[in-house]
Amino acid sequence: MVIKRILSTAVIAVTLTLANAQLKKISGINYSMRKGADWLPHPNKCKSTEEITLDLDVLKTVTDNIRLYSVGDCDCGSVVIPIARRAGLKVAVGLWVDSNNATFIKEKETLETLMANGIITSSNVVSILVSSEALYRNEISLEMGIKYLNQIKELRDRHNLQAIPLSIADIGDIYIQYPQIIDHVDFCAINAFPYWEDKDIKEAASRFKSRIQGLIVPCTKGGNVKITISETGWPTDGRSEKVTIAVASHVNARRYFDEFTSLAEMEGWNYYYFEAFDSAWKLEQVGESHVEGYFGLFDGNRKLKEAYLDSILSPGQSSTPGTLRESASTTSSMPAQGTSPTTQPLPLHSRC
């Protein structure tokens, strides 16, 4: 009872602080319920329902949509989706895919249970993303990725959830290298990080725009397939030995956030910013000074980082709940033929 009272007080304090600041909501945000490394026992690896409730009560003040990476890891689907519904948040559901076919089988079985039990509905889930950069990591073939997607499509249709669009989340170069993906997805889900491409902050937003422009024509052909930015962001701290030009800092993170969100609004892109909270647990695997732990808009204590105080907490238009089901842009040039994926460091994502 004492713990619940303390948690309730904390939520009220954070919510009031943010609400009093006249928020500018963002399109969507990537969320993880992880708090520990893979090898830790469940209570140390996965956030509790109380912690998740605190997280989502904070996030609902800055967005109407969250994206998950997995339904099986940490029982993410059965835990997070109901809490998100109570918080008034829509969910982009992710299925984690790697080189082990058993991983997909577990995710699919969990997804089917969530559908059968009414946890996933067309009113609270805006999309299902089958894998996240599994093609880029060379963990599955194109044929396997499409096979997995089609299996989820059959499952979705069997449960009369055709209103929920499906896609494969991957970097833009994968969609360019394998344009046949577009024939199978309901929208293009693109991950793009100028930071990991080692671009100077001065050219980061323009680099991002040029990347996406090359996908607009193929992804919107016939007016049926749309574009959503499933991941992008810039770290506020840390370093990576594989990145020599791009600099992680609060100043650069704010500049990228401001320029990217302005660009997204101008172009009509829906997006999920990467990510909600700093992930200190990742540092156990990659080193205490690595950038992977510092992509959050909020720190590990759910406090909005100083870098974003004048960006998110400012007068602006509120996003419309559920708008991430529809996304498109209208003008661009075609990508160069025969382009292959750009070599860049692989971000370390949690599975949930």
Using the predicted structure, report yes or no on whether residue 75 has a pLDDT greater than 50: yes
H or E element in which residue 30 lies:
strand 29-30
Residue 344 lies in a domain: no
**Does a structural domain hold residue 335?**
no
Whether 337 maps to a domain, the answer reads no
Lowest mean pLDDT among 69-83, 103-117, 135-149, 303-317: 303-317
Q: What is the reported pTM?
A: 0.85
The reply to whether 153 falls in a domain is yes
The answer to whether the beta carbons of residues 33 and 352 sit under 8 Å apart is yes
What's residue 216's pLDDT? 86
CATH number at residue 308: 3.20.20.80
pLDDT in tens, 167-178: 999 999 999 999
Where in the sequence is the domain holding 53, given as residue range(s)? 2-325
Answer yes or no: is 339 within a domain: no
Q: What is the percent of the chain where pLDDT is above 70?
A: 79
Half-sphere exposure of residue 349, counting CA atoms within 13 Å on the CB side?
29
List, in sequence order, every residue forming a beta bridge with 132; answer none if it has no partner: 169
Rounded-to-integer distance, Cα 326 and Cα 270, Å: 8
CA-based nearest residue to 236, from 285, 201, 192: 201
Residue 128 lies in a domain: yes
Nearest to 55 by CA among 27, 36, 34: 34
Give the residue with greater pLDDT, 47 vs 280: 47
Contact 181, 142 (CB under 8 A): yes
Measured distance CA(246)–CA(243) in Å, rounded? 6
pLDDT digit string, tens, across residues 207-238: 999 999 889 888 887 665 689 999 999 999 99
* Cβ-based burial of 37 (10 A; exposed 0-12, middle 13-18, buried ≥19): middle
User: Omega of the bond prior to 275 within 30 degrees of 0, cis?
Assistant: yes
Find how far residue 109's CA is from the centre of its chain.
22
CA distance 169 to 274: 13
314 in a structural domain: yes
**Of the given ranges (20-24, 137-141, 192-196), which has the lowest mean pLDDT?**
20-24
How far apart CA 214 and CA 344 sit, in angstroms, is 19
> Which is more confidently placed, 78 or 16?
78
Contact 63, 74 (CB under 8 A): no
Structure tokens belonging to residue 260: 């990217």
Residue among 281, 259, 238 nearest 36 (CA):
281
The pLDDT assigned to 331 comes to: 34
Q: Is residue 83 part of a domain?
A: yes
Q: Is the pLDDT of residue 3 over 70?
A: no
Rounded Cα gap, residues 347 and 303, in angstroms = 24
Structurally, how many domains does the chain consist of?
Answer: 1
